[in-house]
Structure 1
Amino acid sequence: MALTQIVNPIIYPSPTIPRRFAAISPLKTLNPQFSRHSPHTHAISRRIFLPSVSSIWDAITGGGDSNPREAIAAIRNGMQLFRQGDVSGSVTEFDKAIVLDSRQKAYLWQRGLSLYYMDRFEEGAEQFRLDVAQNPNDTEESIWCFLCEARLQGVDVARKQFLEVGRDSRPVMREAYNLFKNGGDPEKLVNDFSSGQASEVFYASLYAGLYYEAEGKSEKAKFHITAACGCPYGQRSDDYMASLAKVHCLCRNWSSGLV
C-alpha cells in the first residue's frame, strides 16, 4: 500500500448509515464531530488523511511543512461551523486545513459542499473532481460535481461530462445516480423509496429536490428538500447530509425547512 493511500474502511451493511464512514477503533479519542452519525459511534470520514499515515509520511520526508493534526482540527471546526449554518466560516477552516497539510485537499468533500452554497461553483466542481479521482466509487461526489457544473454550464452540458463511478451499495443512491446521470423523473425516485428505510426516504427527497434545483424548478426543489428536513431521519440523524438539508433551507430562506 502506498504511504499516501487512505486506509480502506469497514463498510457498515445497514442502509441507514452513509457509506462514507468507517469504524476505526484506534482513533476513538478523536472528536466525534468528524462523524455524520451519533457521537457514540466513534466513526470518522474515511477520506480525511489520517494522522497515523501522515506521521509515517512525515518521518520519511521530513514533513516540516505539514501539520496533519492541526489540519484535522481545522476540518473538524469547519464541519461544525457548516452544521451551524456558517458556510463562509466553514470554507475558511477547510482552506486553513489545506494550508496546514496540502494532502488534505483531494479528500475535502466537505469543502465542495460549502463552496456550492457560496455559489463558488467552479471551485466546487474542481473539489469534487479531485475527490472522485481519489475515490472513484463515490456516487454523491459525482452528483455534486454535476450540480456545480449544471449551475455554470447548464444541465445538458453537465450531463455530457458526468463523472462515472462504481456501484453504490445503497439502492437509493444507485437510483439517484442514474437519475442525475441519465435524466428522468425525480418523483419516481421519491415514490420508489416512500416506504423504505428512514434514511432512504430522506435521501430520495433530498436528491429529488437537488435535481429540481439543477433544472431551475425552485418550488419543487423547496417541496422535496423541506420534506427531507421534516422526515424522521432529517430531524433526528447526526448525518452530515441531514445538516446539509437544513443549511440548504437556510441559504434559500426556506424557514419552514428548519425544524
Structure 2
Amino acid sequence: MTSSCKLLSQSHSLFPLSAPNTSPVALKRTHCLFSSSINHSTLHGHHLNSAAAHTISRRLFLPSVSGIWDALTGGGNNAREAVLAIRRGMLLFRQGDIAGSLTEFDKAIELDPRQKAYLWQRGLSLYYLNRFEEGAEQFRIDVAQNPNDTEESIWCFLCEAQLCGVDEARRRFLEVGRDPRPVMREAYNMFKDGGDPEKFAALFLNGSPGEYFYASLYAGLYYESERKPDEAKRWILDAYRSPYGERSDDYMASLAKVHCLCRDWISS
C-alpha cells in the first residue's frame, strides 16, 4: 500500500464518537430508519426519486442493525463498544488509513460477533489491502444476510476477479433481488453478464449527480476487474472529481478518493 493511501486528511465529518442517544425520540427515529434502510445500501444524492424515497443509505447511516439496536436500547457494553469501533473504522477509512480501519472492524467483531454479518465496510477495507479471499468471504456473508444487496454482490465479484479472473468470478456471481435504483440495476447486469462500461456510463451522463457518480465509479471498477488500469483511472477519477464525489457524505464518495490515492492517481 502506498504511503498516500495510509493517511488522508479527513474530508467528511462522521458521527461523533459519543455514547448513543437513548432518548425515546431517538429510539423511535432509529426504529423508523431500520424499517426503511434494511434492503438498500446506497443513497444517490440529496433529492431522491419516488422509487427510492423510502430508503435510507446504510453508507450514510450507522452500519449494523443488531449492534446499534442493542446500543440504543441499553444492551450490553460490548454491543456499544462494537458500534463505536465501527464508527472509528469508518472514520479511519475516510482518512485513508485502511489497515487501521480493518483493525477497528475486527475489534467490533471480537466485541460482538453478530456484527460480521453486516460489516460491508470491512469487505471494502480488505479489498484495498489486497486480501481478496477474505473480502469475498465478507461480502458473501453480507449477501446471505441481505439477499437484495446489489453492491455487495458486485464487490464480491471484484474480489474474486482479482483471485481467479473475471470468467470464474462471473460463474460464482451472487444473484440478488431487483434493485429499485436504475444505475445499480444496470451496473449489476453489466457485472453479472458482461457488458460495455462506456455504454453503461453513457446511460447516466445526464442523470442525477448521484447516478453520474455511481455510473463512473462502477465503470472504472469494471475496467479494474479486467485489468485495464488506464480506463479504470479515467472513470474513477471522474467519479472522485464529480460534484457528488467532492461534496457528498456518502461512504462511497470517500471510497473513490481512497481508491485514487491507493493507485497513486492523486496525492494526499
Q: Same fold (TM over 0.5)?
A: yes
Structure 2 residues without counterparts, runs of 5 or longer: 1-32
2:228 corresponds to: 217
Superimposed CA distance per residue, residues 84-142 of structure 1 (whole angstroms, 9 cap, x where no aligned partner): 00000000000000111111011100000000000000000000000000000000000
For 2:36, the equivalent position in structure 1 comes to 10
Q: 1:44: how far off?
A: 2.7
Aligned residue number for residue 67 of structure 1: 78
For residues 266 and 153 of structure 2, what CA distance do their matches in structure 1 show?
29
1:31 is matched with which residue?
A: none
The Cα of 1:189 is off from its aligned counterpart by: 1.1
User: Over aligned residues, Cα RMSD in angstroms?
Assistant: 2.6
Aligned: 1:203 with 2:232:
no
Is 1:190 matched up with 2:208? no
Look up the match of 1:124.
Answer: 135
* Residue equivalent to 1:149: 160
Residue among 123, 126, 129 paired with 1:115? 126
Distance 1:232 1:174 in 2: 22
Residue 49 of structure 1 aligns to a residue whose secondary structure is helix
User: Alignment partner for residue 234 of structure 1, among 245, 253, 261?
Assistant: 245
RCO higher in structure (CA 8 A, sep ≥6): 2
Question: Which letter does structure 1 place at the counterpart of 2:114?
Answer: R
> What is the distance in 1 between the residues matched to 2:189 and 2:209?
21
Supply the distance in 2 between the matched residues of 1:48 and 1:85 (Cα, whole angstroms): 25
Deviation by residue 1:53-99 (Cα, 9 ceiling, x = unmatched): 478896xxxx6xx7000000000000000000000000000000011
What is the TM-score with the length of structure 2 in the denominator?
A: 0.78
For residues 1-38 of structure 1, the C-alpha deviation after alignment (integer angstroms, 9 at most, x for no partner) is xxxxxx84325997426979639xxxxxxxxxxx744x
Distance 2:72 2:207 in 1: 43
Whole-angstrom CA distance in 1 between matches of 2:112 and 2:170: 33
Aligned equivalents of 2:150 and 2:204: distance in 1?
A: 18
For 1:57 and 1:163, how far apart are their aligned partners in 2? 36
User: Is structure 2 residue 223 aligned with structure 1 residue 180?
Assistant: no
Structure 1 contact 51–69 (Cα < 8 Å) conserved:
yes
From the superposition, tell whether residues 236 and 56 of structure 1 become closer, same or farther in structure 2 (CA, over 3 Å).
closer
Q: Contact 1:179 / 1:185 at 8 angstroms: preserved in 2?
A: yes
Q: Is the 8 A contact 2:62 2:68 kept in 1?
A: no
Post-superposition Cα deviations, 1:235-254, rounded to whole Å, max 9, x if no partner, equal 11010000000000010000
Of 160, 166, 177 in structure 1, the residue corresponding to residue 171 of structure 2 is 160
Give 3-state SS (helix, strand or coil) of 2:62's partner: strand
Corresponding residue of 1:22: 56
Q: Indicate conservation of the 8 Å contact 2:67/2:112, yes or no.
A: no
Matched, 1:44 2:62: yes
1:144-185 C-alpha deviation (Å, 9 max, x unpaired): 000000000110000001000011111000000000000010
Which consecutive residues of structure 1, in runs of 5 or more, have no partner in the other structure?
A: 1-6, 24-34, 38-42
> Partners in 1 of 2:234 and 2:90 — Cα distance?
26
